[in-house]
Structure 1
């Protein structure tokens, strides 16, 4: 499985316009979808769960499995 490239994420975050005011976790999800081309919540959750910082982001939002991440993504896209 891939690992999150935090340097690429920082670059992505600095270059991406953020008119909707997304937080770092939401930007990280956008980064994973565009940089790694992951769209499956199972794959995204697995990637996030392997990294300490992103695991803390998951815990902060009460996301403990891919189904909860899928629900979060759904809410994020339909706000």
Structure 2
């Protein structure tokens, strides 16, 4: 499993964060997604054998948001 933090531009409210979270959570291979409007980021735990990071970027950007950075979170 891998956790990646995606920094996101274009969120205007908690509803935006909920939209992104619901899109990511539906993707096979995603174990958990937490999207924060206040922090303007999505933290996603996923199986890199099942879903590629690029696919997650596509899901976030599909409704019109923009991923401006991403980083691998340290293992916990």
Under a length normalisation based on structure 1, what TM-score does the superposition of the two structures give?
A: 0.31
Under a length normalisation based on structure 2, what TM-score does the superposition of the two structures give?
A: 0.32
Structure with the bigger percentage of strand: 2
Structure with the bigger percentage of helix: 1
Which protein has greater RCO, CA pairs closer than 8 Å, 6+ apart? 2
